[in-house]
Amino acid sequence: MNHFKALIVAVATLVASQAFAAAETNEDKIRARIAPVGEVCVGAECGGAVVAASSGPRSGEEVYGGACIACHGAGVLGAPKKGDTAAWDARLEKGFDATLNNAIHGLNSMPPKGNCLNCSDDELLAAIKFMSGRE
């Protein structure tokens, strides 16, 4: 009978060790299935470009070229084109402060700050003056 008990213990130990090994294998398979397919790395550590800090406010021309030109270059959805004196005269009848307020808060199809969310009020005013030809 002792041999029989020893055989049962041996078989039970073998089955338990195989079950444990199978569980580890399944966990490894699960980890492999849910592992990220890649990584995103930005900046100098990854060989990417480093953006230099601004040395001061951007000029109206720089703001126009970086943000405003998309709509004001072609007159998209009624945006006054750069240099269109008649269109800008109509908008500037109430003065630069009112026009700047419209640019800051958005007007009609123009989103707030013309989607130049990192533009200061002074930079927006410089862009308005540049586009209107009243620098």
| Single pTM value for the model | 0.59
Residue 72 and residue 81 in contact, taking contact as beta carbons nearer than 8 Å: yes
The DSSP 8-state label assigned to residue 135 in this structure reads -
Q: Judge whether 99 and 91 are in contact, CB under 8 Å.
A: yes
The Cβ of residue 6 has, within 10 Å, a number of other Cβ atoms equal to: 10
- pLDDT tens profile 24-72: 677 888 888 888 887 777 766 776 655 555 567 899 999 989 889 988 9
CA–CA–CA angle 31, 35, 37 (5° rounding):
155
Instruction: Name which of 105, 106, 99 is nearest 125 in CA terms.
Output: 99
